Amino acid sequence: MTVLFGIFLLTLLVITAVAIVRTRNLVVAVMLLGIFSLLLAINFFLLDAADVALTEAAVGAGISTVLFLGALALTSEFEHRRESARRRALSLLVVASAALVIVYATFDKPRFGDPDAPVLSYLGPWYLEETPEYVDIPNVVTAVLGSFRGYDTLGEVFVVFTAGIGVLFLLSARQQGTGVGRRKVDLRDEVLLVVVGRLLVPFILLFGLYVQFHGEYGPGGGFQAGALVAAGFILYSLIEGEKRALSALPLRALTVLTVGGTLLYGGVGVAGMLMGSNFLAYSVLTGDPVTGQKLGIILIEAGVGMTVCGVLLTIYHAFARREPAQ
Partner 1 sequence: MIALLQDIASWILLTAGGAFVLIGGIGALRMPNLYTRMHAASVTDTMGAFLVIAGIMVQAGLSLATIKLIAILLFLLITSPTSSYALASAALLSGIRPDAGQAADRPAQPPPDKGSAA
Instruction: Indicate the residue among 3 and 27 with the shorter CB distance to partner 1.
Output: 27
Best CA proximity match to 63, nearest among 195, 181, 163, 213: 163
Instruction: Indicate the residue among 127 and 207 with the shorter CB distance to partner 1.
Output: 207
Instruction: Indicate the residue among 105 and 199 with the shorter CB distance to partner 1.
Output: 199
Least distance CB 219 / partner 1 (angstroms): 12
Least distance CB 318 / partner 1 (angstroms): 25
- Residue in 50, 193, 251, 275 binding partner 1, rule: CB under 8 A: 193
Instruction: Indicate the residue among 83 and 190 with the shorter CB distance to partner 1.
Output: 190
Instruction: Indicate the residue among 1 and 185 with the shorter CB distance to partner 1.
Output: 185
Least distance CB 133 / partner 1 (angstroms): 28
Contacts to partner 1 from residues 153-192, by CB under 8 A: 184-185, 189-190, 192
Q: How many chain residues interact with partner 1 (CB under 8 A)?
A: 10
| CB proximity list for 212: less than 8 A, separation 6 or greater | 220, 221, 222, 225, 226, 229, 301, 302, 305
Contact window for partner 1 (CB under 8 A) among 31-39, 81-89, 154-162, 199-207 = 199-207
Bridge partners for 25 per DSSP: 78
Instruction: Indicate the residue among 103 and 192 with the shorter CB distance to partner 1.
Output: 192
Interaxial angle between packed helices 191-213 and 289-320, expressed in degrees from 0 to 180 and rounded to the nearest 10:
150
CA distance linking residue 120 with residue 111, whole number of Å = 12
User: By CB under 8 A, is residue 199 in contact with partner 1?
Assistant: yes
Q: Are 312 and 226 in contact (CB under 8 A)?
A: yes
Contact window for partner 1 (CB under 8 A) among 37-45, 66-74, 88-96, 193-201 = 193-201
Show the site string, 68-97: x = touches partner 1 by CB under 8 A, - = not: ------------------------------
Kindly report the number of other CB atoms within 10 A of residue 177's CB atom. 14
3-class SS shares of the chain: helix, strand, coil, % to 5: 75, 0, 25
As a whole number of angstroms, the longest Cα–Cα distance in the chain is 68
Torsion of CA 228, 233, 235, 238, to 10 degrees: -150
Best CA proximity match to 224, nearest among 49, 43, 53: 53
Contacts to partner 1 from residues 254-313, by CB under 8 A: none
CA distance linking residue 241 with residue 186, whole number of Å = 9
- Residue in 99, 159, 196, 274 binding partner 1, rule: CB under 8 A: 196
Kindly report the number of other CB atoms within 10 A of residue 108's CB atom. 6
Contact window for partner 1 (CB under 8 A) among 5-13, 194-202, 244-252, 301-309 = 194-202
Chain-centroid distance of CA 220 in Å reads 12
Instruction: Indicate the residue among 53 and 160 with the shorter CB distance to partner 1.
Output: 53
Instruction: Indicate the residue among 165 and 200 with the shorter CB distance to partner 1.
Output: 200
What does the binding site for partner 1 look like in residue numbers (CB under 8 A)?
184-185, 189-190, 192-193, 196, 199-200, 203
